[in-house]
């Protein structure tokens, strides 16, 4: 079972947190800090598995992670999951994000937290894997999108400014998701 | 076209996020957030009804604020309101908020449950999925109560959409995990298994998680899944299926599902059906073959997916542990991976090999990779991988390679990461002890360990080396010589000083013949370290000094001078001061005889589980390491051995105890008084300080090192029913709980009055008893099986001393006041080798002892039998024969019970009937018994009738254990 899914950037800023077991809010933040501390000090070419930190359950749990450009995707899982399988799952999730957002970058995760949650929900549910077929997941997301559109009513205020900032040349998915430096300021948006 | 169009974001949200990101400082950020929270709060409270869009926008903002690590304490109600919206967008955001933010807030859960109920009934698959997601993500007990009945129906209904089925399967799994009692197995279970055959692979993916979990808990009910899983797996592996298109991941067909199928099979033993097994073996072979084929893609994802399946297949092969051919292939495959350039594969190969090493078939094959593993330990850049290598070395260690492995681990320790040093130290210590052929090697190894990683050598490790040295005469001289040499290093670790002080204090005389290590040289060497040490070590050294005075009278003036110096006798630390004062006095007052007795060499320690092993197990948790296989059944009695607390207690000094039995006899002062108190009654420790004895119990009792202390206490429940002539002394509150086998011991005496009640390696307790009417007399014989004295301290009836090999006798008079079911407890405490032994047994006094046999004719018997016809007057048990059905034996037992065995009463000659009256002071209880053996079925039916229901019940319980 997957106990938690954490996405944070190279500076430890959380971009998505999803716990499938109850932890109090401040504990969640502590776990993120601890996990970041454990993961960030590792070189890029070492292995992708390590024992969980003490807060999340210690050596009974494994942290399985991938590092894409500015983001760490960390899955905390128990011994019933295949390590390589989870690595593949992270890959599926990221590739799906990339399809849904068309060259996904950290900013997409920031500005569309709700969407990212929706996509994750199609992959993992209550800590168990729901679907691994990328086409199926994308189809679900597209379907939701159509429903949303048809319901209309949402002002089409542009988040275009946001996407314009992105440095989106992606020669190869997904190892090199080229995401602009996180410290780039978002240009001021047109006044409402 | 991207699935998420960028155009429909919410501008207010984007602006807010941008603002936050533009904040220059944490303070500015918090200020902006507080402003936004206030804004949202006022919007929610405002009179104007918010439209769905605004609500969604604000909820999204709250989610973002939560992500930044701020508590959100409002907005829940708004989110719940969104649930009842008809618009998907609003409903969806409401559910999202709830599954991220809501915990079991009972007030809200009811409202949420209502909304969920409506959505589940809506027959709109999208809404149903949202609701199921919410249940799965929150998974609270209330939700389980509300929906555990409904979800199985949705899951197996014929008209449920595939996507809903997927969600329902995982939702049910979640509920089963949180509240297994509420998910009732039923007709749906068999249909769930058949989901493995579902055409939609997504459904199979979701269902297999559910089935795996259910199979682990109820293997028998789900047995049929094995053959289904095998056939599904075989179709995937052989690519016979055509419906795999979308589930092919980088040219590997359905890797996730294959892994899960292989995991499911690991819940079961190898299939019994030959055809199924053949098919499975074929699958496993295909998977192993594929690993040798050239890759279809250079992408790492391809090899990842392929190897994920391969590793699961290998786990299954190891789990079955029955196909030598496959095991060898698996081992070779892992051997290849050990040298693979992918770090992940090396890591996983080391991990799998650890489990393989414990298999009989492959232990030798694993051992051939020792050089590679040692190399990994030395050269891997990644600490996770090095740790796995260390684990594997530990697992593959046996007598043939122990020296090499221990040497490698020791040399690795010099550079090892801090995070794993302590564990490494424990492992080295365990392997060194376990595979020590000559103990000088063991001593060398441990001293090296202290030298290299002294800071990480826990108490358990250095206690253990001392314990072993004390127990083995052949190594004592060598140990003394080696520590002496080790102490000569200019800087040596404090743990080395401790071991050195201890061993020289005991065995310094063995090397004193050499002028280079004459007594004074030894003393000066130890004393040169004294000032650099902490208080506990200094205290230990002081004790070593007094031992020196005994071993080498010529050092007495020097040592007395040291003790007399202001830095000792006026030390600000009360512990050190007291030791100095008392040792000084002891050395000047006591005669050499007394000194020799008080400061005698430590007696050997009783053998039991290594405390280090217990520590490693505690550290690693269950299942992390194959420790259990390594312990060779040394375990004794279970429980926590050698907790730190009792050690602290043992660290007290006997010398001072003999002179002034003051409450602060714990001269080392390692633990607080409370800890000492609790230490007293525990199982006793492995390692008792050389110089020490006197736990609190011995103190309260007044004198000696080794006490034998025993008291009887009335049973807790029926204390008024028995009168036992033996005082329950003040120690009764710290008596141990009855031994686990005490019930069994009690049962031995139901049908006999004499025998051995209890026996261990120290003590034997024999019993002789006689009963007349409601009175009884019991003789207890305490036999000392050792050659050492037990000194008694308490209770009048027993002589205050049990000589080695001797016996003492105690008489107990018993009167039965009324009927009872609990046997009285007998608590025995004594000191052996310094350790307090505390044993609680059940005294074999049972209600049937007060039987008076009654002879009667067949007619009378049946008349009385019929009179006792109230349901509660009868107790009946049907049980399997556990001792064979020899008629003579049965008769003896029934007679031993105390009642009369009536011949020619029962029309069936096979049956036995008995009658008797139980005599208590309060009343007499007539009892009738009927035992019907069924030789064919090897079963008995036992029926008891008596005028008192508790008596029938108790007799029935007692007797059912006898046949």
Residues B276-299: tens digit of each pLDDT: 999 999 999 999 998 888 888 888
Contact criterion met (CB < 8 Å) for B89 and A121: no
- Six-digit token pair at B605? 């320690």
pLDDT over 50 (residue B659): no
Which comes out higher in pLDDT, residue A90 or B842?
A90
Closest among B83, B72, B82 to B51, alpha carbons compared: B82
pLDDT score at A88: 92
Which residues of chain B neighbour A147 with C-beta distances below 8 Å? 88-89, 126
Q: Band of the pLDDT at A3, cuts 50, 70, 90?
A: very high
pLDDT score at B244: 67
Query: How far apart are the CA of A111 and the nearest CA of chain B, in angstroms?
Result: 6
Which residues of chain A neighbour B348 with C-beta distances below 8 Å? 49, 83-84
B115: Cα separation from own chain's centroid: 44
Contact criterion met (CB < 8 Å) for B202 and A136: yes
pLDDT over 80 (residue A9): yes
A86 vs A89: CA distance, rounded Å: 5
pLDDT score at B105: 59
B665 vs B676: CA distance, rounded Å: 11
Q: Assess contact for B848 and B898: CB atoms under 8 A.
A: yes
Of A92, A142, A156, the CB nearest to B3: A142
Contact criterion met (CB < 8 Å) for A126 and B137: yes
B809 vs B780: CA distance, rounded Å: 6
Q: Assess contact for A81 and A97: CB atoms under 8 A.
A: no
Residues B399-412: tens digit of each pLDDT: 889 999 999 999 88
B384 vs B109: CA distance, rounded Å: 43
pLDDT score at B249: 86
Which comes out higher in pLDDT, residue B632 or B267?
B267
Q: Assess contact for B784 and B802: CB atoms under 8 A.
A: yes
Neighbouring CB atoms inside 10 A of B668's CB total 26
Residue in the structure block whose two tokens are 């708004």: B78
b/e map of B815-838 (b: 16 or more CB within 10 Å)? Answer: bbebbbbbbbbbbbbbbbbbbbbb
pLDDT score at B734: 56
Which comes out higher in pLDDT, residue A43 or A91?
A91
pLDDT score at B610: 67
Which comes out higher in pLDDT, residue B616 or B338?
B338
pLDDT over 50 (residue B688): no
User: What's the whole-number mean pLDDT along residues B522-542?
Assistant: 90
B115 vs B117: CA distance, rounded Å: 5
pLDDT over 90 (residue B640): no
Query: How far apart are the CA of A167 and the nearest CA of chain B, in angstroms?
Result: 16
Residues B76-127: tens digit of each pLDDT: 888 888 888 888 888 888 888 888 777 655 678 888 899 999 999 988 888 9
User: What's the whole-number mean pLDDT along residues B307-314?
Assistant: 94
pLDDT score at A162: 38
Helix (H) or strand (E) holding B926: strand B924-934
**Radius of gyration, CA atoms only, chain A:** 17
Contacts of A34 (CB under 8 A, 6+ apart): A53, A54, A55, A56
User: What's the whole-number mean pLDDT along residues B841-870?
Assistant: 82
What does DSSP say about strands B825-832 and B707-713: parallel, antiparallel, or unpaired?
antiparallel
By CA distance, what is A17's nearest residue in B? B67
Which residues of chain A neighbour B162 with C-beta distances below 8 Å? none
Which residues of chain B neighbour A155 with C-beta distances below 8 Å? 10-11, 53
Q: What φ, ψ does residue B462 adopt, rounded to 5°?
A: -75, -25
Contacts of B407 (CB under 8 A, 6+ apart): none
pLDDT score at B484: 92
Q: Give the CA angle between residues B779, B785, B790 to the nearest 5°.
A: 80
Contact criterion met (CB < 8 Å) for B14 and A111: yes
A177 vs A167: CA distance, rounded Å: 10
User: Dihedral sign, CA of B573, B577, B583, B584?
Assistant: positive
Question: Among the listed ranges B23-27, B323-327, B764-768, which one has the minimum average pLDDT value?
Answer: B764-768
- ipTM exceeds 0.95, yes or no: no
Q: What φ, ψ does residue B842 adopt, rounded to 5°?
A: -95, 130
Residues B548-577: tens digit of each pLDDT: 888 888 888 888 888 888 888 888 888 889
Q: Assess contact for B192 and B156: CB atoms under 8 A.
A: yes
Q: Assess contact for A26 and A59: CB atoms under 8 A.
A: no
Contact criterion met (CB < 8 Å) for A87 and B209: no
B87 vs A151: CA distance, rounded Å: 7
Contact criterion met (CB < 8 Å) for B301 and A42: no
pLDDT over 80 (residue B539): yes
Neighbouring CB atoms inside 10 A of B598's CB total 21
3-state secondary structure of A186: coil
Q: Band of the pLDDT at B56, cuts 50, 70, 90?
A: confident
User: What's the whole-number mean pLDDT along residues A106-128?
Assistant: 89
* Helix, strand, coil percentages, rounded to 5, for chain B: 55, 10, 30
3-state secondary structure of B601: coil
B709 vs B698: CA distance, rounded Å: 9
b/e map of B149-165 (b: 16 or more CB within 10 Å)? Answer: ebbbebbbeeebebbbb
Question: Among the listed ranges B200-209, B585-594, B714-723, B728-737, which one has the minimum average pLDDT value?
Answer: B714-723
Residues A122-159: tens digit of each pLDDT: 999 989 999 998 888 999 888 888 887 887 644 333 33
- Six-digit token pair at B261? 């199928």
Q: Assess contact for B815 and B774: CB atoms under 8 A.
A: yes
Q: Band of the pLDDT at B735, cuts 50, 70, 90?
A: low
Average pLDDT, whole number, for chain B? 78
What does DSSP say about strands A71-77 and A62-68: parallel, antiparallel, or unpaired?
antiparallel
pLDDT score at A8: 94
Please count the CA atoms within 13 angstroms of the CA of B567 that sit on its side-chain side: 8
Question: Which ranges in B74-196 belong to alpha helices (H)?
Answer: 76-83, 88-101, 106-121, 125-138, 141-147, 150-156, 162-178, 187-193
pLDDT over 70 (residue B743): yes
What does DSSP say about strands B707-713 and B790-792: parallel, antiparallel, or unpaired?
parallel
Q: What φ, ψ does residue B328 adopt, rounded to 5°?
A: -65, -40
Q: Band of the pLDDT at A168, cuts 50, 70, 90?
A: very low
- Six-digit token pair at B847? 């209600």
What does DSSP say about strands B775-784 and B763-772: parallel, antiparallel, or unpaired?
antiparallel
Considering only the C-alpha atoms of chain B, give the largest distance between any 2 of them, rounded to a whole number of Å: 104
Q: What φ, ψ does residue B781 adopt, rounded to 5°?
A: -115, 120
Q: Assess contact for B769 and B780: CB atoms under 8 A.
A: no
Cβ contacts from A onto B, under 8 A: 236
Cis peptide before A174 (omega within 30 of 0): yes
Which residues of chain B neighbour A110 with C-beta distances below 8 Å? 17, 21
B150 vs B23: CA distance, rounded Å: 49
Contacts of B531 (CB under 8 A, 6+ apart): none
Of B8, B13, B347, the CB nearest to A47: B347
pLDDT over 90 (residue B762): no
- Six-digit token pair at A98? 């990339």
Question: Among the listed ranges A74-83, B530-539, B916-925, which one has the minimum average pLDDT value?
Answer: B916-925
Contact criterion met (CB < 8 Å) for A125 and B171: yes
User: What's the whole-number mean pLDDT along residues B530-534?
Assistant: 89
Residue in the structure block whose two tokens are 């004594």: B830
Residue in the structure block whose two tokens are 């070779």: B332
**Radius of gyration, CA atoms only, chain B:** 37
pLDDT over 80 (residue B8): no
pLDDT over 60 (residue B5): no
For chain A, give the number of residues: 192
pLDDT score at B813: 78
Q: Band of the pLDDT at A76, cuts 50, 70, 90?
A: very high
pLDDT score at A7: 94
pLDDT over 60 (residue B624): no
B851 vs B914: CA distance, rounded Å: 11
pLDDT over 60 (residue B913): yes
Dihedral in degrees, nearest 10, Cα atoms B165, B171, B175, B178:
150
Residues B362-395: tens digit of each pLDDT: 888 888 899 999 998 888 888 889 889 999 999 9
B731 vs B729: CA distance, rounded Å: 5
Contacts of B153 (CB under 8 A, 6+ apart): B188
pLDDT score at A73: 95
pLDDT score at B731: 40
User: What's the whole-number mean pLDDT along residues B498-523?
Assistant: 89
Q: How many angstroms separate the first and last alpha carbons of chain B?
A: 80
Average pLDDT, whole number, for chain A? 78
pLDDT score at B167: 93
User: What's the whole-number mean pLDDT along residues B519-526?
Assistant: 90
Residues B867-898: tens digit of each pLDDT: 887 778 888 888 888 777 777 888 888 888 88
B380: Cα separation from own chain's centroid: 33
Q: Band of the pLDDT at B348, cuts 50, 70, 90?
A: very high
Binding-site residues from annotation of B: 11-12, 43, 53, 57-61
Which comes out higher in pLDDT, residue B538 or B105?
B538
Q: Give me the residues paired with residue B392 across strands.
A: none
- Six-digit token pair at B200? 């939609």
B870: Cα separation from own chain's centroid: 47
Which comes out higher in pLDDT, residue B897 or A183?
B897
Contact criterion met (CB < 8 Å) for A128 and B174: yes
User: What's the whole-number mean pLDDT along residues B232-247?
Assistant: 76
pLDDT over 80 (residue B657): no
Q: How many angstroms separate the first and last alpha carbons of chain A?
A: 46
Neighbouring CB atoms inside 10 A of B245's CB total 11
pLDDT over 90 (residue B349): yes
3-state secondary structure of B516: helix
Query: How far apart are the CA of B288 and the nearest CA of chain A, in angstroms?
Result: 17
Which comes out higher in pLDDT, residue B654 or B238?
B238
């Amino acid at each position: 079972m997957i106990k938690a899914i954490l996405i944070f950037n190279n500076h430890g800023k959380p971009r998505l947190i999803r716990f499938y077991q109850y932890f109090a809010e401040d504990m969640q933040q502590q776990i993120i800090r601890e996990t970041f501390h454990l993961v960030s000090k590792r070189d890029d070419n070492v292995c992708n598995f390590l024992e969980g930190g003490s807060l999340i359950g210690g050596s009974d749990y494994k942290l399985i992670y991938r590092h894409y450009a500015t983001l760490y995707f960390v899955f905390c899982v128990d011994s019933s999951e295949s390590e390589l399988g989870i690595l593949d799952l992270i890959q599926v999730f990221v590739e799906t994000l990339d399809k849904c957002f068309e060259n996904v970058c950290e900013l997409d995760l920031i500005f569309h937290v709700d969407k990212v949650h929706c996509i994750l929900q199609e992959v993992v549910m209550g800590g168990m894997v729901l679907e691994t077929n990328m086409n199926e997941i994308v189809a679900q997301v597209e379907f939701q999108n159509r429903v949303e559109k048809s319901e209309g009513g949402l002002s089409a205020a542009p988040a275009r400014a946001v996407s314009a900032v992105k440095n989106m040349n992606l020669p190869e998915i997904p190892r090199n998701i080229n995401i602009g430096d996180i410290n780039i300021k978002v240009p001021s948006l047109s006044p409402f | 076209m991207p699935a998420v169009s960028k155009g429909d974001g919410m501008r207010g949200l984007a602006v807010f996020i941008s603002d936050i990101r533009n904040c220059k400082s944490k303070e500015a950020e918090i200020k902006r957030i507080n402003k936004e929270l206030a804004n949202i709060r006022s919007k929610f409270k405002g009179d104007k009804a918010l439209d769905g869009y605004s609500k969604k926008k604000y909820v999204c903002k709250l989610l973002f604020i939560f992500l930044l690590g701020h508590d959100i304490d409002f907005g829940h109600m708004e989110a719940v309101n969104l649930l009842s919206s008809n618009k998907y967008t609003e409903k969806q955001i409401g559910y999202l908020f709830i599954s991220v933010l809501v915990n079991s807030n009972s007030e809200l859960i009811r409202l949420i449950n209502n909304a969920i109920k409506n959505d589940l009934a809506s027959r709109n698959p999208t809404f149903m999925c949202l609701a199921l997601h919410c249940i799965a993500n929150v998974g609270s007990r209330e939700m389980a109560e509300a929906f555990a009945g409904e979800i199985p129906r949705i899951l197996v209904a014929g008209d449920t959409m595939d996507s809903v089925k997927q969600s329902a399967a995982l939702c049910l799994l979640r509920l089963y995990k949180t509240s297994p009692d509420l998910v009732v197995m039923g007709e749906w279970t068999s249909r769930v298994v058949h989901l493995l055959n579902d055409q939609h692979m997504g459904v199979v993916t979701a269902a297999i998680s559910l089935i795996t979990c259910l199979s682990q808990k109820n293997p028998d009910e789900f047995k049929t899944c094995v053959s289904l899983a095998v056939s599904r797996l075989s179709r995937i592996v052989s690519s016979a299926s055509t419906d795999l298109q979308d589930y092919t991941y980088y040219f590997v067909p359905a890797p996730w599902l294959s892994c899960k199928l292989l995991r499911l099979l690991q819940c079961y033993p190898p299939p019994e059906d030959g055809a199924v097994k053949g098919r499975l073996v074929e699958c496993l072979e295909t998977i192993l073959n594929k690993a040798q084929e050239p890759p279809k893609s250079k992408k790492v994802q391809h090899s990842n997916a392929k190897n994920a399946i391969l590793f699961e297949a290998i786990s299954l092969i190891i789990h079955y542990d029955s196909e030598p051919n496959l095991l060898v292939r698996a081992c070779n495959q892992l051997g290849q991976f050990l040298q693979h350039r992918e770090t992940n594969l090396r890591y996983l190969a080391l991990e799998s090999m650890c489990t393989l090493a414990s298999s009989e078939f492959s232990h030798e094959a694993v051992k051939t990779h020792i050089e590679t593993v040692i190399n990994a330990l030395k050269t891997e850049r990644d600490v996770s991988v090095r740790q796995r290598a260390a684990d594997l070395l530990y697992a593959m260690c046996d007598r043939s390679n122990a020296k090499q492995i221990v040497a490698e681990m020791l040399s690795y320790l010099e550079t090892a990461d801090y995070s794993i040093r302590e564990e490494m130290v424990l492992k080295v210590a365990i392997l060194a002890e376990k595979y020590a052929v000559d103990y000088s090697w063991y001593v060398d190894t441990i001293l090296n360990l202290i030298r290299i990683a002294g800071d990480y050598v826990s108490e358990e490790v250095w206690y253990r080396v001392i314990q072993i040295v004390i127990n083995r005469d052949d190594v004592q001289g060598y140990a003394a010589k080696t520590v002496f040499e080790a102490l000569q290093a200019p800087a040596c670790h404090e743990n080395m000083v401790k071991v050195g002080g201890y061993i020289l204090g005991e065995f310094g005389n063995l090397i004193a013949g050499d002028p280079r290590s004459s007594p004074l040289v030894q003393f000066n060497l130890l004393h040169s370290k004294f000032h650099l040490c902490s208080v506990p070590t200094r205290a230990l050294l002081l004790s070593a000094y007094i031992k020196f005075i005994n071993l080498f009278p010529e050092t007495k003036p020097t040592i007395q001078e040291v003790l007399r110096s202001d830095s000792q006798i006026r030390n600000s630390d009360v512990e050190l001061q007291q030791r100095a004062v008392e040792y000084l006095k002891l050395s000047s007052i006591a005669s050499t005889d007394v000194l020799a007795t008080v400061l005698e060499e430590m007696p050997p320690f009783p053998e039991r589980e290594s405390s280090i092993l217990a520590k490693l197990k505690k550290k690693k948790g269950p299942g992390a390491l194959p420790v259990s296989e390594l312990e060779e059944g040394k375990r004794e009695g279970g429980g926590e051995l050698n907790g730190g607390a009792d050690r602290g207690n043992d660290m007290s000094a006997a010398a001072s105890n003999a002179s002034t039995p003051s409450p602060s006899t714990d001269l080392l002062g390692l633990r607080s008084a409370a800890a000492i108190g609790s230490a007293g009654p525990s199982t006793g420790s492995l390692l008792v300080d050389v110089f020490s004895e006197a736990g609190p119990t011995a103190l309260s009792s007044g004198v000696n090192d080794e006490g034998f202390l025993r008291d009887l206490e009335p049973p807790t429940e029926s204390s008024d029913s028995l009168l036992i002539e033996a005082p329950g002394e003040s120690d009764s509150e710290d008596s141990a709980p009855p031994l686990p086998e005490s019930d069994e011991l009690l049962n031995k005496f139901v049908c006999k009055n004499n025998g051995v009640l209890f026996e261990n390696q120290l003590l034997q307790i024999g019993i002789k008893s006689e009963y007349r009417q409601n009175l009884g007399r019991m003789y207890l014989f305490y036999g000392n099986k050792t050659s050492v004295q037990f000194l008694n301290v308490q209770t009048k009836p027993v002589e205050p001393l049990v000589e080695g090999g001797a016996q003492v006798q105690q008489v107990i008079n018993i009167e039965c006041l009324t009927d009872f079911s609990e046997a009285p407890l007998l608590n025995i405490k004594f000191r052996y080798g310094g350790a307090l032994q505390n044993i609680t047994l059940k005294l074999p006094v049972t209600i049937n002892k007060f039987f008076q046999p009654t002879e009667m004719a067949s007619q009378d018997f049946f008349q009385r039998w019929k009179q006792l016809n109230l349901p509660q007057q009868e107790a009946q048990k049907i049980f399997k024969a556990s001792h064979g059905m020899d008629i003579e034996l049965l008769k003896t037992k029934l007679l031993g019970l105390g009642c009369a065995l009536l011949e020619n009463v029962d029309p069936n000659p096979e049956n036995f009937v008995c009658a008797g009256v139980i005599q208590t002071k309060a009343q007499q209880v007539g009892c009738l018994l009927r035992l019907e053996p069924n030789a064919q079925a090897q079963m008995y039916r036992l029926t008891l009738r008596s005028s008192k229901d508790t008596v029938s019940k108790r007799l029935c319980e007692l007797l059912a254990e006898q046949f």
